[in-house]
Amino acid sequence: IVLTQSPGTLSLSPGEGATLSCRASQSVRSNLAWYQRKPGQAPRLLIYDVFNRATGVPARFSGSGSGTEFTLTISSLQSEDFAVYYCQQYNNWPLTFGGGTKVEIK
Amino acid sequence: QVQLVESGGGVVQPGGSLRLSCAASGFTFSSYGMHWVRLAPGKGLEWVAFIQYDGSNKYYADHVKGRFTISRDNSKNTLYLQINSLRPEDTTVYYCAKDLDYGRLFMDVWGKGTTVTVSS
């Protein structure tokens, strides 16, 4: 299953909202997760099962969607949120990640 | 606290081999499936392999089948990735990661990675 993320880069200012998209080449039902990666750090699980926040993830992060279209929304960007975000499907083998969306400071 | 620490990366010539290790602590290692994921240059995160909690089932990405072997030693709380016939395109950071729970197949804890460089 190919996951296509868009846009490739989002240039936003702190306090603005961000909407990241992940499209699957076939249905993954609700088996989709989102991760955050910062340079030199371990990736961090943000969302699983489309909309469940992982432990310790702030409420400004939310996920939605089903089937083939998914969205990660960050309601008000904080300085620590500028990073690369990946979606991952776990409905089928092989597991796959999207190509990532970089959220950068405008 | 829950921790994963990778080791074994380094510089290796094309065609060579390497064994990566991942030392787990802070949780019951033998109860969780484990993954290897790498950071593909220009492509982002790339899932590599998974091994079930007891080692009974293993799954691989198509592009590493036959060259990569995932294994674990639950008595040592350690995950391994044997990489053979290394290619320049295998150059990247390799992460080990823990499954959230049995059969969930997404990763709630990650190591900081170990870097493999394939170069002559």
The verdict on a CB contact (< 8 Å) between A42 and B46 is no
* Partner-chain residue, chosen from B45, B59, B60, that has the shortest CB–CB distance to A43: B45
- Residues 58-77 on B with a CB inside 8 Å of A are 59-62
Q: What is the pLDDT of residue A20?
A: 98
d(CA B84, CA B66): 9
User: CB-based contact (8 Å) between A84 and chain B?
Assistant: yes
d(CA B37, CA B50): 9
d(CA A94, CA A32): 14
The verdict on a CB contact (< 8 Å) between B45 and A37 is yes
Q: What is the pLDDT of residues A55-101, one digit of tens each?
A: 999 999 999 999 999 999 999 999 999 999 999 999 999 999 999 99
Token pair for residue B74?
């639950």
Q: Which residues of A touch B112 (CB under 8 A)?
A: 41-42
CB atoms within 10 A of CB B82: 14
Residue-level pLDDT, tens digit, chain B, 120 residues: 999 999 999 999 999 999 999 999 999 999 999 999 999 877 799 999 999 999 999 999 998 999 999 999 999 999 999 999 999 999 999 999 999 988 889 999 999 999 999 999
The verdict on a CB contact (< 8 Å) between A45 and B105 is no
Cα within 13 Å of Cα(B89), Cβ side: 5
- DSSP assignment of A32-49: EEEEEE-TTS--EEEEET
Token pair for residue A30?
């609700």
Cross-strand partners of A10: A103
Whose tokens are 């299953």? That residue is A1
